[in-house]
Amino acid sequence: MREDHMKRRTLLAAMGASVITPVQTKDIPDQAAATGWQNWSHSIAPQEADIVVPRDVATLKKLIGETAGGVRPVGSGHSWTGLVPCDGAIVKLDHFNAVRAVDTQAQTAWLGAGARLKDLSPVLAEHGLAFRNLGDIDVQSLAGATSTATHGTGRELPCLAAEIRGLRMVTGAGEEVEISATQNADMLPAAQVALGVLGICTEIQMKLVARHKLHRRVWFAPYDKVLSDSEKLWRDNRNFEFFYLPFSGQAMCITHNITEAETTPRASDEGGEGVMQLKALRDWLGWFPYLRKKLLSAAIADAPEEDVVGESWQLLSSPRNVHFNEMEFHLPPDRALEALEAVRTHIERYRRDVFFPFECRMTAGDKAWLSPFNAGPRISVAVHTHAPDEYEFLFTEIEPIFRSYGGRPHWGKLNRFTGDDMRAAYPKFDDFAKLRAEFDPEGRLLNPYLRSLFGVA
């Protein structure tokens, strides 16, 4: 650890940088060496289903038609809900990773559904294009990120799924279907956020923007001041988000704005050391919140401000080397900060074991039927726990707070919403359920969690 970066880099290192790796396309096996898939945090027990990696659409169609039991697609495993576990085959789309039909004038491209966002960004940059926005991490597959309405932050910036202009998929009935401006266009709002239950996507056409650089600033400020300034910060910046450090009274603010300035050097990231220092403070001083706050405040007081310029995709996303479990709810803007304060008060009163920062972001509205951002913008509040720690309290203590403020859960993150809850939250839920039954009449793409959600025996 470098002493001059205590402070922001070591306390919150896992929130700061992105790691870009080359696209890996060689030697992808047709079937994984063993069963036993688990999600990233290991909150889901090992699955005994076969893990299959089809090479083409014909193989995928055969797999869906012949597998005994359910068939579920999987991306990078960065979800916590029960979208993947099944008794048949878990399908990895690693072979579906091509970038093609790039239209630099229209700023669109057909992208392989299994490609990772971190691998797509440098390829798109070669064509002078970029994703309009990215979330905190970019290791997800394109299909996984869009089908769960993964988002970044920005008052005028929608979630990734809202940028979909077309999809190609194999339905549960084994049919190849395209949904785009020229084919089945009326189904696009249903297909943009579809949880992999209409079909398994093979290609997705995305609306992109011109390649651009961002000016990134990171600084600490008193939590109360950040709350009072948040509306202005969201209004005045392309991207704004903040993280509250429990038991500190301080928040870390991050902004990104488009710039033509020259790229500047950026310090390397310690990749999780800061989060583990927060854990150490919890372990040593968990029963002494005053001392915990005093030490945190002292560490933050001299934190240097980060001020750098770089490619958008190199600044928006960060590595996550410390595994965690997460609950995130999307709340009406006029109630979200009140909900955040209720969560903060509860945790600091009753949950001294929590040390991961809370995250607060804003996302523009869209028209996708199952998007949490349907019909207007939402402010998202996320609470994390260290993967080895108990997290049942998120369901019993934190989720009721989010529900009471009109929150909709992130489709991939911890929640106990039922089908009735989803029906109440989404006016088009029943319409989507009917379309799902048309695309997959035998329920081949369902698992127990999804059967319960959609009321299928």
Rounded Cα–Cα distance for residues 374 and 372 (Å): 6
Please give the C-alpha separations between residue 387 and each of 44, 148, 291, in angstroms, as whole numbers.
11, 21, 25
pLDDT at 30: 57
Q: In this structure, which topology does domain 3-17+213-409 adopt according to CATH?
A: Vanillyl-alcohol Oxidase; Chain A, domain 3 (3.40.462)
* pTM for the whole structure: 0.91
Q: How confident is the model over 407-422, as pLDDT tens digits? A: 999 999 999 999 999 9
pLDDT at 269: 64
In 3-state terms, what secondary structure has residue 64? helix
Per-domain residue ranges for the chain?
3-17+213-409, 99-210
The rounded Cα 63 to chain-centroid distance in angstroms is 28
Residue appearing with tokens 């916590």: 80
pLDDT at 271: 61
Q: What is the chain's length? A: 457
Largest CA distance in the chain: 63
Answer CATH for 99-210 from 3.30.465.10, 3.30.420.300, 3.40.50.2300, 2.40.160.20: 3.30.465.10
Q: How confident is the model over 254-311, as pLDDT tens digits? A: 999 999 999 999 887 656 778 888 898 899 988 888 889 898 888 888 788 999 999 9
Whole-angstrom distance between the N-terminal and C-terminal Cα of the chain? 55
The model's confidence at residue 177, banded by pLDDT at 50, 70 and 90, is very high
Rounded Cα–Cα distance for residues 124 and 108 (Å): 10
User: Which tokens go with 325?
Assistant: 């479990």
Q: Mean pLDDT lowest for which of 7-21, 73-87, 194-208? A: 7-21
